[in-house]
């Protein structure tokens, strides 16, 4: 019989002390094993994907502006456009907009930059976050469902027998405990990571504002260097 709860030397409970794939399936049942395995793999995939996207989105603004200014002075707008094309970060999209609209005046440039930030850059930065939030909420809900289901099964056995062997109830009570813990094990770190990603988006927004200001400060130069 699997040990569901035991205490360690510090008095804290150790859940699932004899943990293996077979034990997990035995405690969960196949349905909840599939659900929690899917949530775990999907959550891990989303987190890794989002880390990669954030890494590619970042740009050292001061270094990028220096390179762009240098290329603009030496090779004109065409050379500056090449710098923007080679930079994968979101800041490059703002300066690419500057290259396309700078010769039309500061008002047109400001409106174009505002539009590209709101309609393209910010949606890209928030990509996957709504799905991550859904998983944060689903995991404990499935855990609660497993708890209720396990207790229903246990009470059915109690109601159907005048004398119940405690061992007969251990599997159903184990499911109730196991699924609750699994839902929280998935949700707690995912909520933490989601919060970190949201904070990263906020920092990106500050970077975008600085980039927009830098782009508008450079705009007068594009009257002298019209786009070829």
Quick one: pLDDT at residue 20? Answer: 67
Summarised one tens digit per residue, pLDDT across range 202-221 is 999 999 999 999 999 988 88
What is the b/e burial string over 155-175, where b = at least 16 CB atoms within 10 angstroms of the residue's CB? eeeeeeeeeeeeeebbbbbbb
Contacts of 151 (CB under 8 A, 6+ apart): 172, 173, 176
The stretch 168-186 carries a mean pLDDT of: 86
Sign of the torsion formed by the C-alpha atoms of 140, 156, 32 and 1: positive
The stretch 127-146 carries a mean pLDDT of: 96
In whole angstroms, what is the distance from residue 200 CA to residue 55 CA? Answer: 11
In angstroms, what CA-CA distances link 136 with 50, 139, 148, 175, 215? Answer: 15, 6, 19, 21, 38
Higher-confidence residue: 75 or 3? 75
The stretch 80-88 carries a mean pLDDT of: 90
Give the torsion through C-alpha atoms of 184, 190, 194, 200, to 10 deg. 140
Work out the angle between the directed axes of helices 91-101 and 106-116 (0-180°, nearest 10): 150
Domain boundaries, the chain: 60-125+209-224
**Of 1-5, 108-112, 116-120, the least confident:** 1-5
In 3D, which of 35, 204, 206 has the Cα closest to residue 127? 204
Tokens of 50: 């989002």
In angstroms, what CA-CA distances link 22 with 5, 87, 193? Answer: 17, 49, 29
In angstroms, what CA-CA distances link 88 with 57, 82, 94? Answer: 7, 12, 12
pLDDT of 91 > 90? The answer is yes
Quick one: pLDDT at residue 11? Answer: 45
Summarised one tens digit per residue, pLDDT across range 2-28 is 444 454 544 444 444 556 667 777 777
Quick one: pLDDT at residue 225? Answer: 61
Quick one: pLDDT at residue 212? Answer: 95
């Amino acid at each position: 019989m699997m040990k569901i709860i035991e205490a360690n030397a510090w008095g804290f409970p150790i859940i699932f002390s004899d943990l293996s794939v077979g034990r997990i399936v035995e405690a969960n049942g196949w349905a909840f094993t599939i659900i929690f395995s899917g949530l775990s793999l999907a959550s891990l995939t989303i987190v890794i994907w989002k880390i990669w996207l954030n890494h590619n989105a970042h740009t050292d603004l001061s270094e990028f502006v220096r390179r762009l200014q240098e290329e603009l002075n030496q090779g004109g707008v065409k050379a500056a456009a090449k710098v923007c094309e080679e930079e994968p970060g979101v800041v490059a999209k703002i300066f690419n907009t500057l290259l396309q609209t700078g010769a039309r005046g500061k008002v047109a440039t400001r409106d174009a930059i505002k539009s590209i930030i709101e309609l393209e850059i910010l949606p890209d930065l928030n990509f996957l976050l709504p799905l991550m939030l859904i998983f944060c909420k689903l995991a404990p809900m499935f855990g609660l469902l497993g708890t209720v289901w396990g207790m229903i099964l246990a009470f059915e056995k109690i109601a159907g027998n005048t004398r119940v062997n405690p061992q007969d109830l251990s599997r159903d009570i184990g499911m109730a405990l196991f699924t609750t813990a699994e839902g929280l094990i998935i949700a707690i770190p995912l909520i933490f990571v989601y919060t970190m990603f949201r904070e990263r988006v906020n920092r990106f927004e500050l970077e975008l504002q600085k980039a927009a200001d830098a782009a508008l400060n450079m705009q007068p130069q594009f009257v002298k260097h019209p786009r070829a």
